[in-house]
Amino acid sequence: MSRARLAILASLLVAVAVLAVAWSRGADAEPSVAHRIVYLYVSGRGAQAKAWYDGGPPSGVQVQVALDTFAGQGFKYVAIASSGVPSQVSVGSALITPAEGSLEASYVILLER
């Protein structure tokens, strides 16, 4: 074989290899997210407590429903932080216990996958 034929054959093999690699990877419009953090804002008490998160309904959802939704997607608990609303308020030398429901604690729950 002549050198010209070998050069053409080598070029064809390189072109086929490049095309094979390009097709094997495929195009992906939405790359998979290996690590994601979810921020749940929770307010309310008892059965009335609601959770808000990015992409959730504007009126919020019950906390357990939100936790079940994200647990089903493989999210795990990372941390919780409270707004720090005290159960008793100090006014001068007197301690006042707020009426039930007058002060609402709010929480932030972080989940990650």
For 49-75, the pLDDT digits (tens) are 899 999 999 999 999 999 999 999 999
Cα–Cα dist 78/2, whole Å = 67
For residue 67, count other CB atoms closer than 10 A to its CB: 18
For residue 89, count other CB atoms closer than 10 A to its CB: 12
**pTM of the shown model:** 0.56
pLDDT at 6 over 80: no
10-54 pLDDT per residue, tens: 676 666 666 666 666 665 555 566 789 999 999 888 888 899 999
Per-residue model confidence (pLDDT) at position 56:
92
The strand order across the sheet containing 37-43 reads 61-62, 50-52, 37-43, 106-112, 76-82
Per-residue model confidence (pLDDT) at position 99:
57
